[in-house]
């Protein structure tokens, strides 16, 4: 059976990517990173999603690097997670929740994993519309990294090439929710909140984008929130 590595964060987008890979008949190998984020809720939910899909192997990799360098509200306790920001504020600049060059590190490791298990494709749930201003979620970045794989992976020398698939990159959050529902993705197991508490805060940037997505899709988010704006 053909194999796919899925970068699985435990969030909405990566879980929908899992459902796409499964629908295309891939033997899915989820790859999750404990990268020094301020909570382990993401990793916990990623394990649940992997179990839901009955994956034979779910690789969880610990990376201390991002916690060591800090410089992001997601990896440093010195930087507060922004809350209650307006839609206009959400659209302005690169937020403090950006983790420096994170997707490049994730894709590098996913490529090495794909080479080792002879997977032909890597799924990543980046999004260029509701992407929170992160530069490593843009189509240009994905295209550039595809070229890195062509130049640096041994499979390319053998006439094959590991392909990066980013099926959500041009979709709105509402469209992603609709696709997840269509594919019967376990959206109730996902988490998006930057705070990582038992219930989602409802007021951080990620919660606001998620809630808007479910609202635009005309359905209720199945997870619980502390408060909703």
Residues flagged as binding site:
8-18, 193, 201, 204, 207
- Binding site, annotated residues for ATP: 8-18
Neighbours of 193 (CB within 10 A): 24
Residues 54 and 124: their CA atoms lie apart, in Å, by: 19
- Binding site, annotated residues for Zn(2+): 193, 201, 204, 207
Q: Which residue has the tokens 């005309």?
A: 218
Residue 33: enclosing H or E segment and its boundaries?
strand 27-34
Residues 158 and 154: their CA atoms lie apart, in Å, by: 7
Closest CA relative to residue 57, chosen from 85, 31, 80, 36: 31
Residue 210: C-alpha distances to residues 26, 71, 221 (Å):
27, 24, 8
């Amino acid at each position: 059976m053909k194999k796919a590595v899925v970068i699985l964060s435990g969030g909405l987008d990566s879980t929908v990517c899992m459902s796409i890979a499964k629908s295309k008949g891939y033997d899915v190998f989820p790859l999750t990173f404990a990268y020094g984020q301020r909570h382990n809720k993401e990793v916990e939910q990623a394990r649940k999603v992997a179990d839901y899909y009955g994956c034979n192997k779910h690789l969880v990799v610990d990376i201390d690097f991002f916690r060591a360098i800090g410089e992001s509200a997601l990896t440093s306790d010195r930087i507060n997670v922004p809350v209650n920001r307006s839609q206009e504020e959400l659209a302005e600049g690169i937020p403090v929740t950006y983790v420096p060059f994170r997707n490049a590190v994730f894709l590098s490791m996913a490529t090495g994993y794909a080479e080792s298990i002879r997977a032909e494709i890597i799924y990543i749930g980046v999004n260029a519309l509701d992407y929170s201003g992160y530069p490593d979620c843009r189509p240009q970045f994905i295209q550039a990294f595809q070229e890195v794989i062509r130049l640096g992976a041994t499979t390319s020398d053998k006439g094959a090439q590991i392909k990066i698939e980013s099926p959500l990159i041009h979709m709105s959050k509402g469209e992603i929710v609709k696709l997840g529902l269509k594919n019967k993705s376990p959206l109730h197991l996902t988490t998006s909140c930057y705070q990582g508490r038992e219930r989602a805060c409802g007021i951080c940037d990620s919660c606001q984008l998620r809630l808007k997505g479910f609202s635009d899709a005309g359905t209720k988010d199945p997870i619980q929130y502390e408060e909703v704006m």
